[in-house]
Structures are given as C-alpha cells and as structure tokens.
Structure 1
C-alpha cells in the first residue's frame, strides 16, 4: 500500500496547525513503515487530503477519475474560520456550503476530535469517518530544564511566566489573554505566534502594538525555542473560543506545563477539569485559576503529570498505527 499525503501551499500553512498536522502525518507514517508520497501525480493506492483549496479539489477529481479512494482530513470548519482574520466571518458563511460539498465527495473522513465530527455531522455530511488526534511528538516535546534556563535568560525573566501560543486571533482569545495579563502585573505573560498584521482587525493590531507592560509579543519562534518556552512557563493559558483540537495544547501537555483552557466542547472526553487541566469560562475565573496554580505547587504538579499522560496517548507512533488501520479499512471497503 502506498499513500498520497497531500497539502497545498505548504509554505503558507507551515506556521499553522494544519501545517503541523501534515508534518505529524509524515512522521507518524514513517514510524510505522507506511510507504507514502507527497506528489499527487505519483502512483498510489489511497489519497489523504489535508487542505480545502483549489489544489485539493483537483487532486480529488484526479483520484475519482482513477478510482482511488479519498480520505479528507477535516482541519477546517466554518466555525473555526470565524473571528480570525479580516472578513473571516463573511468568508465563514460562504464556506459552509462549499466545505460541506467538498467533504461529501470523500470516501472517508478523519476528524481530530469527536467535537469536530459533531460539527460536520450537523452540516449534513454523512460520509463515514474516524476520530484520530493530530498527535504530538512526545520525544521532542518533553520538559527540558536546560532549554528552560536558556529561554529565561534570553528574555531576562525571573518571576512566574504565563504562556500562550497561536495566531493572535480573536477566536484564539488573544484579547482575553491580554485582559487577564493587565490584572496580574506581578506575572509575565508571553504570547508566541506569527503576527500577520495585514490580516488582523484594527483592535487586535492595536493590542499587539500597545500591550500591558508585563506582556511580550515576540512573534513566531522555532520549535527548539518553543520547547524551552513550554519548559520554562509556569502555566500554559489558552483561552480559545473554538478549536478542532489544539496542537499547542498537546505540546504544552507533553512538556508538563500545567494547562488552563476555556471550557468549550472540543475538550470534552479528553481534558478533565482538575485532573489534567483547569478550565474557566470568564476572565475573572481565569485570573483566579492562574493565581491558584501559581500558589498551589501540588496541584500544579498533578495537572502537569497527568497532562503528560494525555500526550503519551496521542504520541505519533500511536497516531501512525491508527492511520494505518484506517487506510486498510477504507481500501478494503472500497475494493469490495
């Protein structure tokens, strides 16, 4: 069996969650010995498509003409387009019908979480599907005290650190992150993520240009430095309003950085409040949760240790096995 792993505009998506998920698939299949290609004009038995642009449309048409089964990986929903870039809400409305039509063309769908599957099912897509996490490389993303020290030295940090990672979108809760930071002057808040200012609304650009004095927006950083950030931070705070999974959450869990998230449906069934994370619903709650975690080291250590167990269950070797089983099942069904 040979698999096409397809994603278009790979340079453009390289700093996004889709780009990370695509790289994870490459590593996961390599670990379990699955032969794959990234060239859609190559010869292969099954196609695994990750994006939803014109290139993906052409690949799916090509596969249909050749009788090659298509698996479409659902990284994009109308819900997670909203409140992101300029005109994103308008685009989300337009995308609902086109995304539904595209996903309906697949022979099988892969969803990062049960929540994502429920979203797509609500839009009327009935194609069979499997829930498989985007995964995390737990050997790379693990607590590293040396890198933590280097990170603190680079930014001249001595006190407690609260970390956020992701594009600085409203959907990601960047404005809430800043508001909580403004209430906690004795704590350093850092948000890493590519700052594509031309795509951001004015109010978000204003936040990035004039943050509270205890907040830092360094922009995008490479993986090696990010591991140091997760290892140095006292808390990973991710107040996102909508996710399909949240790869940065998996990275923080894997590095044993205590995780604080918004109480939204995507985390149901795998992130448990008070066990492997803490959840809040308002900025007042987030402030109280963060203060509690900074004071209660036993709670912090429990959350961090249990979080690592969640990550290990989603290691790329596990993901590779799940992908292989899915490919075999889809091929068997389509050939019968």
Structure 2
C-alpha cells in the first residue's frame, strides 16, 4: 500500500483507506501480507493517493502489478480546490496520467467507468468495488446513549435534528444546508467538517464568514474524529448531504450503518449505488419540501431507517471482505501470467 490519504483530516478518502487497511489486517490477515509506504519488492502495489513520489516509483520493477484507486476525477475537484487556470489544467492532466500508469484501476462508483474511458483509459482495466464501513464503528446506539449525547450538546430530546458532514466547500452544498437551516428555525442543524485544504479551498472567504456567523440553529463543529461521528449520526433524525457532485461519500455509508434516514440531492451517481434506499430532492425547494413532510410524518422516517439498515448490509465489511479477497487474488494471477510477478 502507498497512501497519504490519512495525512489530511476530514476527507472521505482517508476514511475509505482506513477501512480497507483495517479489513486487510483483521478479516484478511491470513490471506495477504501488507506493508504501507515501504519500497521493497512486492507482488501487488496498491496506490491510494496520487503523490508525485508514487508516480515515480511506479516505474520500478519492484512494484509488481500496479493498482490505482480512483477517489476523484478532475471534474469532481471543481468547487473544491482553488487553483490558477494553468496550474489547474496541469494538475488535472497529471491526475489522468497517474491513472493511466496503473495496470488496474478500481473505482468506487460504476458511473465513473465511462468518464475514465472518455479520459482515454482502457475499460477492461477498470473495476468497480464500492466503499464500506465497519459496523463495529458505525452502529445504532441505545436511546440512553442518544439522550445522553443530546444532553451533552444542550439539544432538547424532542428537537428535530438534521446532520450533515464533509469539507466546507461549494461542492458539498453547504450554502443550501445553511439556507435550509435559516428557513427552518425550529429544527437544529449540525454540520461536521472544516477546511481540509485551508485557504486553498474554493470560496474560502465566503465560507469562513458563514462559519463565523451562522444561523442561530446551525452549528458548525469543525473537523471531528471519526470516532465521534457515530454520536452525531445517532442523535440525527435525518442525515442530509446536499452535494452537487460526489463519487461514493463515506458519510452516507456511515449514516446508513447507524440506520439514520438519508436525504440527498437527486444525482445520477446515487441511483447507481443506492437507488431505493434514500430520500431526494432536485434543489433547495424540493429538499425543503421533503424536510417539512418528514417533520409532519414520523412514520416515513421509520420506513427510511429500515431501508438504511437494509442498505448497510449490502455495504458491510463482511460482504466487501469477500470481494477484495477475490480481487487481489485475481490480480496476483494476472500479474504472474503477464510476467509482472515472479511466482
């Protein structure tokens, strides 16, 4: 494994990476010997981030068969990082060059296969494997636990809570989240996340002003540890992520694993992976309508809590352990056949 995914807090890439490492060192510990950021001889080398040093070492024969993890595409970075036009284009070109260096690409959402092909990658070398979360970390808590955390935060037990998380940036739909809070003063809104890329964040000044002066019923927690997210997800009556673009957000999987009903912006990429398990709206007005309906009809929340539980089983570590075991073994066999690995 080569990765710097956990070097910047508050990113879904880091969460996905940590989950896979944990899976390999628990459920698949007898199948594979794993090293992290070490340059010795290996049969398979799995790159989780696109650091220039990794690009250079991908030319070494010691790398064996090279696997690249696609957590983002150039177009998904729009609205996330602010760069001058020439630098932005150079970076986007580098991203695609890195992916093309790989012998095998893994995407976390099938809708990005066609987009990678459009960038010039070979369709036969692209595989879809979804993200997942460990139920030991994200799980439904007892009523006693939920009430205790609400009391700790000073939130009344009967207060409707809407929770969202992710980096504070335009792409995540933070403006609509704040606008919805302003339009629904009787609801407590909470957003967990901050500026993972500091002042390089697109629209930094605007969002810094929002964080400094949010609506009274909106709390920005800043970046918090994943271990604490389970508490927020459990006190939430609804998880809301109004993003305009995503791959496969870990935050949604974490919410589903806690059996928290999920409301998302209506995007094609969600239909490919979660169709039928979540509520949706096309824009601010429709999201607001859904929220009003849920507040008045608690039975709908119970229905989508049950659907969240069902979805979480599909993206559980038990299920994905089998998929990753088969995938790595297949890649090893291919590497031997192609002379990339000495058996």
- TM-score for the superposition, normalised by structure 1: 0.92
Contact between 1:165 and 1:248, CA under 8 Å: does it hold in 2?
yes
1:164 CA displacement: 0.6
Deviation of the 1:318 alpha carbon: 2.1
**Counterpart of 1:78?**
74
Contact 1:130 1:326 in 2 (8 A): no
Q: Distance in 2 between matches of 1:118 and 1:210?
A: 42
Q: Relative to structure 2, which stretch is displaced further, 89-98 or 187-196?
A: 89-98
Q: 1:91 to 1:156 in 2, by over 3 A?
A: farther
Q: Give me the whole-angstrom Cα distance separating, in 2, the residues matched to 1:75 and 1:92.
A: 18
Give a deviation string over 1:36-79, Cα, whole Å, max 9, x none.
111322332101110012132133122xx236000000012112
Q: How does 1:1-336 map to 2 (within 5 A)?
A: 5-8=1-4, 10-12=6-8, 14-30=9-25, 31-33=27-29, 34-62=32-60, 65-66=61-62, 68-87=64-83, 92-126=88-122, 128-145=125-142, 146-158=144-156, 159-196=159-196, 197-200=198-201, 201=203, 202-272=205-275, 275-336=276-337
Residue range with higher mean Cα deviation, 232-241 or 28-37: 28-37
Hey, what's the Cα distance between the residues in 1 that align with 2:37 and 2:94? Answer: 25
Mapped partners of 1:225, 1:93: distance in 2 = 37
1:192: how far off?
A: 0.3
Contact preservation (8 Å) 1:277, 1:307: yes
CA distance in structure 2 between the aligned counterparts of 1:307 and 1:59, rounded to whole angstroms: 42
Give the unaligned 5+ runs of structure 2: 338-343
Deviation of 1:213 after TM superposition, in Å, equals 1.0
C-alpha deviation, 1:314, in angstroms: 1.2
* Counterpart secondary structure, 2:274: coil
User: Are the equivalent residues in 1 in contact too, given 2:165–2:241 (CA < 8 A)?
Assistant: yes
Note if contact 2:141-2:234 (Cα within 8 Å) is conserved in structure 1. yes
Q: Aligned partners of 2:73 and 2:14: how far apart in 1? A: 16
Distance in 1 of aligned mates of 2:248 and 2:68:
16
Instruction: State how far apart, in whole Å, the 2-side matches of 1:265 and 1:169 are.
Output: 21
Question: What's the offset of the Cα at 1:92?
Answer: 4.7
With over 3 angstroms needed to count, the CA separation of the structure-2 counterparts of 1:160 and 1:9, relative to structure 1, is closer
TM superposition shift of 1:175: 0.6
Aligned residue pairs total 327
4+ residue stretches of structure 1 with deviation over 6 A?
none
**Aligned to 1:268, what secondary structure does the other structure show?**
helix
Q: 1:9 to 1:186 in 2, by over 3 A?
A: closer
Deviation at 1:90, TM superposition (A): 6.6
- The worse-fitting range, judged by mean Cα deviation, of 284-293 and 92-101 is 92-101
Residue 9 of structure 1, CA deviation = 6.3
- Partners of 2:65 and 2:115 in 1: CA distance: 23
Query: Cα distance, 1:96 vs. partner?
Result: 2.8
Aligned-pair CA distance for 1:118 = 2.5
Q: Match of 1:103, SS?
A: helix
Q: Residues 99 and 198 of structure 1: is their aligned pair in 2 closer, same or farther, counting only changes over 3 Å?
A: closer
1:88–1:265 CA distance, 2 compared to 1 (3 A): farther
Structure 1 pair 90–231 and aligned structure 2 pair: CA distance change class (3 A): farther
The answer to whether the 8 A contact 2:42-2:63 is kept is: no
